Amino acid sequence: MTLKSERIFFRKAKSHGIVKQVREKYIRDDIPCLMDGCTQCCNEQPQLLDEKAPFYIIPDLSVILKYLEILEHEDIMNVIISQTIMVNLDQHDKSKTYRRLRQILNDPRHSSILFYNEIFAGTTQQRKPDESKETYNWRCHLALASWFQQHTQHPIVLLSEFQGQCNSPLANGQIRTLSMQQFLNIYYPDHELLQSLVQVLADVTLEDDWDRIHLGKANASSSPDNHGYVEYKSMDELDVGIKSGRYFSGILRCSSDRQQAQVSVDQEDSILIIGNDNQNRAVHGDLVVVELLPQSQWTSSFNRVSHGPNQQDDAGDGESSNQKRKTGKIIGVLNRNWRPYVATIQNDETGSGSFHLAIPLDPTIPKIRIRYQNSHLINNQRIVVRIDHWPVNSQYPNGHFVRSLGPIHQLDTEMSAILVEHGISVSQATKAFSEASIKEMPIDTPEQPWTPSNEQIARRRDLRSLTVFSIDPPNCQDIDDALSVETLNDGKLQLGVHIADVTYFVNENSKTDLEARARGTTVYLADRRFDMLPSVLSEKVCSLRHHVDRYAVSVLWTLDASLNVVDTWFGRTLIRSACEMEYEQAQELLNGQAKATGLDIQLCRRLQPKVQLLAKILRVFRERRTQQGGLELASAEVKFKIMNKDQVTDVIPKGELEIHGLVAEAMILANAAVGRRVYEGFRKSALLRHHPAPGNHKFRQLIQAAATKGFTIDFSSNGALAKSLHVIGQSCQDNPNMEQMFKTMATFAMNEAGYISSGRFNVDQYSHYGLALDFYTHFTSPIRRYADVVVHRQLLMVIGDVSAKEADAGATSAMYHDTKLTEICDNLNIRSRESKLAQRDSMELFQAMYVIQHSQGVPLVKQGIICELRSNGFYVFVPSLGLKGPVFLKDKDDNVIIPLSLISDKVGDDEQNIPGCTLETQVPNNLTVHGATLPRSIQFKLFDQVRVILKIRMSHAHRHTVHMSLLGFQETPLPLKRLTNKGMVSAILENLDPATAAISPPKSSPLSQDEIKTRRLIKKQHNNMYSVIESFRQLTITENTLT
């Protein structure tokens, strides 16, 4: 039954007039309670209150605004959020708080719900004449609590921070009203984190302070400040300015020293923000509003290697450093992107007193002032802090302490810091799955191993007679995919890709499914992984292990003699893998070796013709795709050999074997076929993988780099770009490092691929630019990616699988609804991006550990290639370690620092500088060092081969980082002159290297003071008899090369 009512209220319009608004409200009596197991309601939603919970929690607005961080903790569950709260947040534009509440409601681990109390007959309340908003809201929550207690027979805890409402039992003691402090003291007395957090938040003044909502007060003017910050313009003024084109909005991206930032207005245009004053209290990631400065104040970007802790993210955009760009100042913030930050208390801030500066691990974030009484407890610790607000008269934002992660520079602490920085949840970090999820798992123990059911064997296509095999990295446990190839009786070929059937074990909207959806992906770090699914699925029942029967979803292609696809079959199958091969083993068989390392000779005889036939087929498919414009890109990946948990014994770059590309091609083939098939059945809500074409400005660095070697880059289409890269590859066959660098630069120029729902885009926007495919999705890794799980469900529904129809979640299924699927896609894109960034950070951490451990007492010298030029130095890529690091030719004060080792080629001389040098910059073409004491000018160009000494820059507040000292580089041989006996003796008496003396010096005036200093520095290296003898030997070599 539905009844209509009206709600009348008045609000201030942008024209400053008062507008009467009338909202119709339809009262219903069929809204379910959303409690699991309720026999009175029809609860079809996937996320439900736990019927076994000891109590349910109903917070009011004061608690939401003050203690939302506590409600976000994973130990706080079974929270009922009222419609009254959401309406208040929406009316007063508290979008950040609204989104955070939505995240709680969407996270199945919280078992929390939104209840529409204002339109439900059992809980709706009418506002009385002259009744305050606070009193009305409180009556709404009392009515909600009373109905829920009577309906579910569960105790209710009403949380409120209003004095006089707390600690008053209602409904025969089954409803208690408590403050947050009282609630935690009663129900969580021993929870150290929550007890600490409630104390901190009690004293915090939040930017979204709750009394500004219901009182509607404007911001009070702040006293004049001395930091150059100004008050933000009103939201009305910002809105009008953006619409008129006077102001611009975009996401703020700061450099690691926070002296330069950019606001991207669109894909091709951005505005520079120079200095803290112009950044005006905005933080990296905020959605800001920018006003352009007068054109006379426009400036150029800093095209420099940063001396800050994060030296690799300041690459800039490749523009010349003297080119003026649009420059502006921030005049407002539309949305704060504040998150939990890992930080360390500043060294000189750990004495007496309760206020301290915390230095975030992320160098793009400013120092945060926090209040903590016992600072010695968090000294030398990685801690988690949050920003609360940033007053206009304060140099730093104010925040609060959340928790400690552990001592700085300990491996587990730094790994925990990486997870926090990238928003990976506590439960996933601890590898723990909920008890409800574990209860849904199949049994697979040594005493009771899992086996296929007779019912499923009858429903599936039995492929156990085929020779099926998997090819993965060594020690892979979560095997998603396997391959097969057979010659049919009619001479045709059958190519098969077989994928783990996860959806049979994980029903949509089950506890396991909701938890996997929240996690989004398995996170792989350098030494550990955090699974998306419980191990009984990921490593056992779903994993396509050899010699056991496994459920799979297969794609089978029938190919004619020309390897054209005659037929494609999709369906559920039963397979039995013959072998879990490693990439190296498969490559050995492909190369023709009779026996692969570690495999039985009889098995090799069975597998080798299969592997070679598979390669023949996939080479053709790859060639066809690349002819259509598919790109072959590259990235630097390494793996670490680790002993005793934290001893990095070796760093091994990923070898690019042919079999890697062939297996990837098989997966691309399956993903493309499934993507097209899923779209045919779900035109409005197919989950696809879209890779947009990159913007022209992103190719600037690649074009400039190619020009230095005489190459041209045509990026008018993916096909043209593929041809340009192919030409470069053919010309660099004798220099694979250069080819790798060009492919890596092309990779960086690409836009990020992402998941989309087909209902939100036109058909011509579905394509995958990098792979040159019209339809593409992710289907081949459901153990480690949730997107693949959704795609499996959609595919099985399209082909009419009986088991899939029986498990269909019906109206609550996300795969039928574009809006629901888009929300899932947005979350998966974030999870995927953060997972990759966490993997990158962990790799850099272990690279630094390797340098620390292998440079003790012995300099660590490596060969590298110059990959980027900057105005104060350059970046060097070390292929053997997959490491990119800076070489500085200027110090922080802009003084030129050219190491003596560049002349002497001796380890140790890199600590001494040649005096009197100047640096001529022609970025991106070259850097040239001039000096009266140098035999000739020294020029550095892109792709020059150099020798560097790897060193560690130690840090207290940040992770240790690798930097490099220049030892020398391979130059074109210089013109030499024959030394006379007199010249030889003169050189030795002056203790000069005869090889250096043999270089034809430029004509110059008598020795300058700088040259005298340089000769004295070199002389220190040749002050014993051995040096004299060595000089004779080098001279002999020089003389012999001239004859």
Q: Which two tokens stand for residue 555?
A: 């794609």
Average pLDDT value for residue range 639-663: 90
In this structure, the number of other CB atoms found within 10 A of the CB of residue 973 comes to: 7
Q: Are residues 498 and 404 in the same domain?
A: no
The HSE-up count of residue 300 (CA atoms within 13 Å, CB side) is 11
pLDDT of residue 1010: 54
**Residues 553, 499 contacting (CB under 8 angstroms):** yes
Which range has the worst mean pLDDT, 153-167, 621-635, 640-654, 1016-1030?
1016-1030
If 0-12 CB within 10 Å is exposed, 13-18 middle and 19+ buried, where does residue 1041 land?
A: exposed
- State the Cα–Cα distance between residues 580 and 546, nearest whole angstrom: 6
In this structure, the number of other CB atoms found within 10 A of the CB of residue 761 comes to: 12
Look at residues 863, 860, 859, 862 and name the one whose alpha carbon lies nearest to residue 944: 863
Average pLDDT value for residue range 684-711: 88
Q: Are residues 960 and 1020 in the same domain?
A: no
- State the Cα–Cα distance between residues 150 and 78, nearest whole angstrom: 17
**Residues 247, 330 contacting (CB under 8 angstroms):** no
* Higher-pLDDT residue of 591, 302: 591
**Residues 508, 696 contacting (CB under 8 angstroms):** no
Tens-place pLDDT, residues 986-1012 = 544 444 444 444 434 443 344 455 555
Which range has the worst mean pLDDT, 74-83, 386-395, 871-880, 1014-1023?
1014-1023
- State the Cα–Cα distance between residues 793 and 801, nearest whole angstrom: 10
924 pLDDT band, cuts 50/70/90, is confident
Which range has the worst mean pLDDT, 532-541, 589-598, 902-911?
902-911
Tens-place pLDDT, residues 875-917 = 999 999 999 989 999 998 899 999 998 888 888 888 899 998 9
Assign 319 to helix, strand or coil.
coil
Q: Which residue has the tokens 């569950």?
A: 77
pLDDT of residue 1022: 44
Q: Are residues 626 and 574 in the same domain?
A: yes
In this structure, the number of other CB atoms found within 10 A of the CB of residue 681 comes to: 14
Q: Which two tokens stand for residue 485?
A: 């190839």
Assign 366 to helix, strand or coil.
coil
Does a structural domain hold residue 734?
no
Does a structural domain hold residue 742?
no
Average pLDDT value for residue range 852-857: 90
* Total domains present in the chain: 6
Q: Are residues 400 and 445 in the same domain?
A: no
Average pLDDT value for residue range 31-53: 82
Tens-place pLDDT, residues 504-519 = 999 998 989 989 998 9
Assign 658 to helix, strand or coil.
helix
Assess whether pLDDT exceeds 70 at residue 146. yes
Q: Which residues pair with 863 in a beta bridge?
A: 947
**Residues 378, 441 contacting (CB under 8 angstroms):** no
pLDDT of residue 736: 81
Assess whether pLDDT exceeds 60 at residue 209. no
485 pLDDT band, cuts 50/70/90, is very high
Average pLDDT value for residue range 76-95: 86
Q: Are residues 538 and 670 in the same domain?
A: yes
In which element (H, E) is residue 237 found? helix 235-244
DSSP states of 113-124: EEE-GGGBTTT-
The total number of residues shown for the chain amounts to 1043
Does a structural domain hold residue 8?
no
Does a structural domain hold residue 771?
no
Q: Which residues pair with 156 in a beta bridge?
A: 56, 175
535 pLDDT band, cuts 50/70/90, is very high
Buried b (16+ CB within 10 A) or exposed e, 783-820: bbbbbbbbbbbbbbbbbebebbeebbbeeebbbbbbee
Does a structural domain hold residue 9?
no
Average pLDDT value for residue range 604-615: 97
**Residues 862, 965 contacting (CB under 8 angstroms):** no
Assess whether pLDDT exceeds 60 at residue 168. no
Each as own residue / partner, the long-range contacts of residues 145-149 (CB below 8 Å, 24 or more positions apart, any chain) are: 145/58, 145/170, 145/171, 145/175, 146/170, 146/171, 146/175, 147/120, 147/122, 147/123, 148/33, 148/56, 148/58, 148/80, 148/115, 149/174, 149/175
Assign 515 to helix, strand or coil.
helix
- State the Cα–Cα distance between residues 930 and 908, nearest whole angstrom: 22
Q: Are residues 988 and 965 in the same domain?
A: no
Percentage of the chain lying above the pLDDT 90 cut = 57
- State the Cα–Cα distance between residues 313 and 843, nearest whole angstrom: 15
Does a structural domain hold residue 52?
yes
If 0-12 CB within 10 Å is exposed, 13-18 middle and 19+ buried, where does residue 445 land?
A: exposed
Provide the mean pLDDT of the chain.
85
Structural domain boundaries enclosing 361: 341-408
Q: Are residues 192 and 280 in the same domain?
A: no
pLDDT of residue 697: 76
**Residues 122, 171 contacting (CB under 8 angstroms):** no
Beta-carbon contacts of 614 under 8 Å, excluding residues fewer than 6 positions away, are 483, 485, 495, 662, 666
If 0-12 CB within 10 Å is exposed, 13-18 middle and 19+ buried, where does residue 686 land?
A: buried
Work out whether strand 156-159 and strand 56-59 pair parallel, antiparallel, or are unpaired.
parallel
Assign 310 to helix, strand or coil.
coil
The edge-to-edge listing of strands for the beta sheet with 917-922 is: 917-922, 926-931, 938-941
**Residues 820, 812 contacting (CB under 8 angstroms):** no
What CATH number should be reported for the domain holding residue 318? 2.40.50.690
In which element (H, E) is residue 777 found? none
What CATH number should be reported for the domain holding residue 394? 2.40.50.700
Angle between helices 83-91 and 95-106 in degrees, nearest 10: 150
What CATH number should be reported for the domain holding residue 109? 3.40.50.1010
Tens-place pLDDT, residues 359-409 = 999 999 999 999 888 888 899 999 999 999 999 989 999 999 999 999 999
**Residues 98, 65 contacting (CB under 8 angstroms):** no
Average pLDDT value for residue range 22-29: 76
pLDDT of residue 375: 83
List the end-to-end C-alpha distance of the chain, in Å, as a whole number.
107
Q: Are residues 512 and 475 in the same domain?
A: yes
Assess whether pLDDT exceeds 60 at residue 14. no
**Residues 668, 771 contacting (CB under 8 angstroms):** yes
In which element (H, E) is residue 744 found? helix 736-749
Beta-carbon contacts of 287 under 8 Å, excluding residues fewer than 6 positions away, are 249, 250, 251, 252, 333, 334, 335, 337
Look at residues 55, 60, 238, 84 and name the one whose alpha carbon lies nearest to residue 162: 60
Q: Are residues 615 and 500 in the same domain?
A: yes
pLDDT of residue 1000: 40
In this structure, the number of other CB atoms found within 10 A of the CB of residue 837 comes to: 14
Work out whether strand 247-254 and strand 481-487 pair parallel, antiparallel, or are unpaired.
unpaired
pLDDT of residue 709: 86
- State the Cα–Cα distance between residues 960 and 950, nearest whole angstrom: 13
Assess whether pLDDT exceeds 70 at residue 334. yes
Assess whether pLDDT exceeds 90 at residue 147. yes
- State the Cα–Cα distance between residues 509 and 45, nearest whole angstrom: 8
Tens-place pLDDT, residues 234-292 = 988 999 999 999 999 999 999 888 889 999 888 778 899 999 999 999 999 999 999 99
Largest CA-CA distance found in the chain, in angstroms, rounded: 114
Does a structural domain hold residue 196?
yes
- State the Cα–Cα distance between residues 261 and 630, nearest whole angstrom: 35
Q: Are residues 653 and 546 in the same domain?
A: yes
Q: Is the dihedral of CA 749, 754, 760, 762 positive or negative?
A: positive
Amino acid at 643: M
Q: Are residues 156 and 257 in the same domain?
A: no
Percentage of the chain lying above the pLDDT 70 cut = 84
* Higher-pLDDT residue of 634, 259: 259
Q: Are residues 961 and 992 in the same domain?
A: no
Tens-place pLDDT, residues 88-140 = 887 776 777 888 898 888 887 788 999 999 999 999 998 888 888 888 999 99
- State the Cα–Cα distance between residues 785 and 987, nearest whole angstrom: 68
The HSE-up count of residue 484 (CA atoms within 13 Å, CB side) is 24
**Of the residues 969, 989, 1017, which one is the last residue of a structural domain?**
969
pTM recorded for the entire structure? 0.85
What CATH number should be reported for the domain holding residue 961? 2.40.50.140
Write the CA distances from 839 to 274, 832, 836, integer angstroms: 31, 11, 5
Which range has the worst mean pLDDT, 524-528, 537-541, 703-707, 840-844?
703-707
Does a structural domain hold residue 191?
yes
**Residues 46, 512 contacting (CB under 8 angstroms):** no
Each as own residue / partner, the long-range contacts of residues 911-919 (CB below 8 Å, 24 or more positions apart, any chain) are: 911/965, 912/1017, 914/1014, 914/1017, 915/1010, 915/1013, 915/1014, 916/1008, 916/1010, 916/1011, 916/1013, 916/1014, 919/872, 919/889, 919/890
